[in-house]
Amino acid sequence: MNIKMIEFPKHIDKYGNLVPIEEKDTIPFKIKRVYYIYDVEQNVRRGFHSHIELEQVLICVSGSVKILVKTPYEEKNILLNNPQEGLYIGPMIWREMYEFSEDAVLLVLASEHYKVEDYIRDYDKYEKMAIDYLKEEK
């Protein structure tokens, strides 16, 4: 599955911690957009879509959140609870975000500007497209 965890450097001193994210060293794409999700109630599940081309890195800068990443062939549930690491998600991966802690802030770095046409929100449609996409990738 085209996902991976990315570890960011952390600078710790007596004043606290600082995590720098440099596009050229750690992020495998040019960052065109940043957004963050917070104040999500614990029983809320978000996402339920794939992107056709968009690449993203998800960083839980406060609290915790679980991410389901899924293709027609495999699925993983990943706990994000460390502001020093990010989850890279490539194109054509179904995602759902759930179990946000009360203090969760999910920061997302994205490779493209917001484009509604890049979303696939119907799972059956996603499954068909992903099977073709993954066949071509081999």
Question: What is the contact surface with ligand T46 in residues (CB under 6 A)?
Answer: 33, 35, 37, 46-47, 56, 58, 95, 97, 108, 114
| Least distance CB 21 / ligand T46 (angstroms) | 17
| Least distance CB 31 / ligand T46 (angstroms) | 13
Contact 37, 106 (CB under 8 A): yes
The verdict on whether 49 is a catalytic residue reads yes
Measured from the CB atom, is 10 or 32 closer to ligand T46? 32
78 in the Ramachandran plot: left (φ > 0), alpha (ψ -120 to 50) or beta?
Answer: beta
State which amino acid sits at residue 41.
E
What is residue 51's three-state secondary structure? strand
Contact 57, 88 (CB under 8 A): yes
Between CA 34 and CA 63 the distance in angstroms is: 19
Measured from the CB atom, is 33 or 66 closer to ligand T46? 33
| Least distance CB 62 / ligand T46 (angstroms) | 16
Measured from the CB atom, is 8 or 110 closer to ligand T46? 110
Between CA 126 and CA 49 the distance in angstroms is: 8
| Active-site residue set | 49
